[in-house]
Amino acid sequence: MTTIISINDPSHESNWADGYNFRCSRIRCQYYFKADKLNMRNKLIIQSVILVGMVFISVISCTYEEVLPYQPDPGVDVLFGADIIPIFEGNCTASGCHNGSGPAPDLRSSVAYDALWMGGYINTETPEQSNLYLWMTDAFGPMPPQGGNATNNANVLQWIKQGALNN
């Protein structure tokens, strides 16, 4: 069975549900695909999938690892001359602050031990309340001014806990 469509009648256009149109014009009859509508929808779907994928990858790739401050081994002695004086020389006296001509205490290696004890900076009964440790952990302000160092702070606290000996 053959259906004849008038070539001169432009009203003969069929819209099929599957996205194909059959259109007759004065010259020829042709099939064409409704590409514009479907391509825009496909682009939107693809962009949405990519965006969701990127967000998902970003979320699962973020990890948080807690970095704990250095804790010296309690069985290892922290020595004043070998461990504490280099902290003072690298942070306190080299900057020109606690070198005898600046604010107390004088932390030059020859007088630091006496200056800390005489000035009341050491508390061996409650080491965490020692003024030296509190200054170094920013309880009274940043010392050194560029900010504390967790390893240095832990070593000083360990030294005080061990009796703050002049060794």
Residue-wise pLDDT for 15-53, tens only, equals: 444 444 555 555 555 444 455 555 777 788 888 888 998
Question: What is the structure's pLDDT at 3?
Answer: 44
Hey, which bits of 9-116 come out as E strands?
A: 13-15, 20-24, 29-33
Partners of 32 in beta bridges: 21
DSSP 127: G
pLDDT tens-digit profile of 71-121?
777 788 999 999 999 998 888 887 788 888 888 899 998 999 999 999 999
Q: Give 3-state DSSP helix, strand, coil % of the chain, rounded to 5.
A: 40, 10, 50
pTM of the model: 0.58
What are residue 14's phi and psi, to 5 degrees? -110, 135
Tens of pLDDT, residue by residue over 132-159, are 999 888 888 777 777 778 888 889 999 9
Mapped onto helix, strand or coil, the DSSP state of residue 58 is helix
Backbone angles phi, psi at 30, to 5 degrees: -150, 155
* pLDDT range class, residue 67, cuts 50, 70, 90: low
Distance, C-alpha 88 to centroid of its chain: 30
In the structure, what pLDDT confidence band is assigned to residue 1 with cuts at 50, 70 and 90? very low
Beta strands at 20-24 and 13-15: parallel, antiparallel or unpaired: antiparallel
Across 6-15, 67-76, 95-104, 120-129, the highest mean pLDDT is recorded for 120-129
